[in-house]
Amino acid sequence: MTPTTVLAAAPLDPDPDEARRLLLRELTGRDYVAAQPTWLDRAADAFWNWLNGIRFGGVEGAPAVALVVLLVVVVVVLVVVLAVYGVPRLNRRSTRGPELFGEGDDRDADRLRRAAAEAAAAGDLVLAVTESFRALARGLVERDVLSTTPGTTARAVGARAGQVFPGLADRLAAAADSFDGVRYLDRPGSEAAWREISALDLELERLAPVAAS
């Protein structure tokens, strides 16, 4: 018997007990129960109400949800990039700079040392002195002992390095004078000056700086 049949067979003016019995039968009927929302329907409604209630800054509702999703995507991409490539490291070449005593020169200290030795072997002592002092300066920059700019002079390098290596301050000042002499004053280079600067460069490589420049 369907609810319609029950209602049709019910008296037109039932007493309270009969009305309660008929209502209970109607509410427990198969058609009424099937029309009630399920737990999945209630969960979906609760989820969408939560999304619509999200606030992101001064934005709420659907635009705020889009911003949150975009932020999550960006964070996930960053995590994946860091996991694959690791934390980016500062390029050593960029920290030392291509400029050295007013000239564009991107060679590292080892290449400058080899160039000085080759110049000395070829008898070009002017080039040997200049290249050996450039190697000394570049080595200090690569170790983060000091930094140079396009306007940094050899005398400034010698003075700054002398503050960090006070026991070698006089020799550093003399090496800078040798560089300035052959580079700007047309003085002849000497094997003694080249060997002194090269030895000083190697000695600096073995020493720890006293203080940061």
Count how many domains the chain has. Answer: 2
Six-digit token string for 102: 């007013």
Residue 205, by phi and psi: left (phi above 0), alpha (psi -120 to 50) or beta? alpha
In a domain, 175, yes or no: yes
Structure confidence at residue 28 (pLDDT): 60
Rounded Cα–Cα distance for residues 176 and 154 (Å): 5
Q: What is the pLDDT of residue 213?
A: 44
pLDDT in tens, 27-40: 565 555 555 667 77
Task: Examine the domain organization and report whether 77 and 155 are in the same domain.
Answer: no
Same domain, 98 and 183: yes
- Write the secondary structure of 47-103 as one string of H (helix), E (strand) and C (coil): HHHHHHCCEECCEECHHHHHHHHHHHHHHHHHHHHHHHHCCCCCCHHHHHCCEECCE
Considering the domain architecture, whether residues 99 and 73 belong to the same structural domain is answered as no
| 87-114 per-position pLDDT tens digit | 554 444 444 455 576 566 778 999 999 9
Domain boundary among 85, 102, 125: 85
Q: What is the mean pLDDT of the chain?
A: 77
**What pLDDT, on the 0 to 100 scale, is given for residue 7?**
47
For residues 80 and 109, membership in a common domain is answered with: no
Percent above pLDDT 70 for the chain: 60
pLDDT digits (tens, 9 = 90+) for 176-205: 999 999 999 989 889 999 999 999 999 999
Q: Averaged over 150-169, what is the pLDDT?
A: 91
Query: Residue 78: its pLDDT value, please?
Result: 82
Residues 115 and 48 in one domain: no
The answer on 168 and 116 residing in a single domain is yes
Same domain, residue pair 132 and 183: yes
Task: Give the number of other CB atoms < 10 A from CB of residue 111.
Answer: 15
Predicted confidence band of residue 72 (pLDDT cuts 50, 70, 90): confident
pLDDT band at 19 (very low <50, low <70, confident <90, very high): low
Q: Sort 56 into a burial class: Cβ within 10 Å, 0-12 / 13-18 / 19+.
A: middle
Asked if residue 144 belongs to a domain, the reply is yes
In a domain? residue 146: yes
Same domain, 17 and 79: yes
Name the DSSP class of 167: G
- Note down the domain range covering 60: 3-85
How far apart (Å, rounded) are the C-alpha atoms in residues 75 and 98? Answer: 36
- Do 105 and 184 fall into the same domain? yes
- Claim to verify: residue 50 and residue 127 sit in the same structural domain: no
pTM of the model: 0.55
Tell me, yes or no, whether 107 and 201 share the same domain: yes
Residue 70 lies in a domain: yes
Q: Which two tokens stand for residue 129?
A: 């002195």
Does 99 share its domain with 192?
yes
pLDDT higher than threshold 80 for residue 21 = no
